[in-house]
Amino acid sequence: MPYIQKKQRELYDEGINMISSNLTELGGLSPGHLNYIISALIRNMGPKSYTEINAIIGVLESAKMELYRHIAVPYEDKKMEMFTTG
């Protein structure tokens, strides 16, 4: 998880919780909905230079690694344990 100050996180949490709630009402997270949300956020930021575009691509790569580290690895570890014990 990106490490920003708690006060800064709190500014985003209400909106993030609202989006998550809306997705749940729509039947859960679909790749298309997530892609739309991420793309819309980036589009609204209006990157205007190669440097800004490149920085955003780097952020997306870092988010991918955070997803793998904090969600995929624990999931895989749990699955591996289920199939190697017992």
What confidence score (pLDDT) does residue 3 get?
Answer: 77
Domain boundaries defined on the chain = 1-46, 47-86
How does pLDDT run across 15-56, given as a tens digit for each residue?
999 998 988 888 887 889 889 999 999 999 999 999 999 999
Looking at residues 59-71, what average pLDDT do you find? 96
Confidence check: pLDDT of 63 > 90: yes
Distance between CA atoms of 28 and 33, rounded to whole angstroms? Answer: 9
Distance between CA atoms of 15 and 21, rounded to whole angstroms? Answer: 10
